[in-house]
Structure 1
């Protein structure tokens, strides 16, 4: 069961890692970052609703309380991470932004220790430190020279949103299925990003020029579809399912492999090189996750039994229902 959770989380990291090349291909063809994020979230909402309707249309009928929870989930755990990342890299290097964002496991470990009284073992802490050190090597944070207080503030918000994703995806009884939670969450996330566009914080620019992937000119719709289906729908669903099986702490550490997968995908699709230091960093990430697992991270049952009112039209099974976004973000 927990082995399945780890593999689902690795698959989530792999799917997330392809978002960089897909998004860059669109931006190089004339799309603005805001346009890419909005199209990504809105498209993911449509796909998730279609999947949920095909599997069980009744599941889309949720209680008002669950809609409010999904709104909080979408705005804090999804839109905040996506929007603030792009706002951060406008005045901060990508390497430093990623490094700040991937401090999320520390926040998760601290929250579970202080709030849920789940004290991490020494091996878990050592594994987290090793995995974070590996992430530093992979993204070459020390090669960055840009420093901006504004950028650091946006990156810190992105990191907090990232931590909230892990904590809010902890399973509890009486919540909708993962795909329904994600569908409603994506709707509110897209609305939030759209509001940023209206206020002028995000520039919404779309284009239909060909996009370049792996040195090939491709229709713009192809990288967009891949970004929506693989790097958003599959990535979030696997991540949510992973948290439900192995808990927030181990999931947040396993997802650090995204930076390694991101380097590999950029090498395959964008022609960027991979250094020995980055490979060493990847080994540190994998080793850190393994040490944290030996230290007991993910060993405790992450399922939270709670008594919550549910919609009469859809009463989910307590063992098969994931994330209720009313946990922590």
Structure 2
């Protein structure tokens, strides 16, 4: 990969992390207004699906209709990597503290590295592994996981499923980019995810409850529709488009590690928009997290290029 191509991928992924981080404050504001997780999730995915499908129709109409040839990939992407991640995370929160559930979900980079190593024969460099370890330790400090309470077996199961779905997102984004543009992959996948969310609501796994018409955001009362619109357009549409486009340029391993920056942005935005305090241990964790990502980026950059036509084993990633 050309250095400029990789650089664009890195910045797209950082932008994705920032956009994903806004979902915490925007969703929390809606949930605090007595909206149920099921209603919030269904509207979030439905709105995002409508916007991304419209973009796909304008930008790549032919490829969108041709995506029917990839129904299996799109079904797995929509059900597991989009709707499944969020639904299982919400279910995990019924049994676990937020910090514990997040920490388990953020183990996804390890799952991605293991998948690429065992299934795709892409052995990670020692520097990449060290960077991954530091980044995840830093994320643990940022969310202050050590002050988040104990583990519940049921909650642990839901959180592990959320982690697996998160890993599937990175892997399928990387693979899907070989056959579909990011906007087509997301447009079709998000439609499947929206249908899945409403189906989960109909079977009462994620019940629907619509709360008040206004929420508190940045110490101001605003219409709930404003927070929902931001949740759809910024936290979902922009976040996923940048994430898939970034994965297509830098691969699933580095994408999953850089997206750990989401926890840094989430803490900062919660401080700005919700008035939540930032502890010194979280600042220290941010430093460790950034250092780990830099190390992992260095390990990927030092990866030796494949000779043309050569098999991938044992190339590092």
With structure 1 as the length reference, what TM-score do the two structures score? 0.88
Shift of 1:68: 3.2
Paired with 1:179 and 1:281, the residues of 2 have a C-alpha distance of 34
Contact 1:246 1:298 in 2 (8 A): no
Match of 1:284 in 2: 288
Task: Report the counterpart of residue 44 of structure 2 in structure 1.
Answer: 40
What is the CA distance between 1:39 and its match in structure 2? Answer: 0.5
Equivalent residue, structure 2, for 1:141: 145
Residue in structure 1 matched with residue 313 of structure 2 by the alignment? none
Aligned-CA RMSD value: 1.8
Q: Deviations over 1:8-58 (max 9, x none)?
A: 000000000000110011111121011111110011000001112222433
8 Å CA contact retained: 2:130, 2:295: yes
Tell me the residue number matched to 2:129.
Answer: 125
Looking at structure 1, the residues matched to 62 and 121 of structure 2 have their Cα atoms a distance apart, in angstroms, of: 37
User: CA distance change for structure 1 residues 215 and 49 in 2, over 3 Å: closer, same or farther?
Assistant: same
Q: Structure 1: any 5+ residue segments left out of the alignment? A: 306-329
Q: Is the 8 A contact 2:108 2:163 kept in 1?
A: yes
Aligned length: 303
Question: Partner residue of 2:29?
Answer: 25
Whole-Å Cα distance in 2 between the matches of residues 182 and 245 of structure 1? 16
- Map 1:245-324 onto structure 2 (within 5 A): 245-296=249-300, 299=303
In structure 2, the residue corresponding to 1:218 is in which secondary structure?
strand
1:240 matched residue in structure 2: 244
Give secondary structure in 1 for the equivalent of 2:66.
Answer: coil
Give the superposition deviation at 1:174.
6.2
1:190-229 counterparts in 2 under 5 A? Answer: 190-229=194-233
Runs of 4+ in 1 over 6 A off after TM superposition: none
Gaps of 5+ in 2: 310-317
Residues 235-288 of structure 1, C-alpha deviations (whole Å, 9 max, x = no match)? 001100111111111111100010111000100110001111111111111100
- Tell whether the 8 Å contact from 1:9 to 1:238 is kept in structure 2 after alignment: yes
The equivalent position to 1:3 in structure 2, one of 3, 7, 10, is: 7
Which stretch has the larger CA shift, 48-57 or 88-97? 48-57
Judge which range, 49-58 or 73-82, deviates more: 49-58
Question: TM-score scaled by structure 2?
Answer: 0.91
User: Are 1:106 and 2:76 counterparts?
Assistant: no
Which structure: greater helix fraction?
A: 2
8 Å contact 2:177–2:248 — kept in the other structure?
A: no
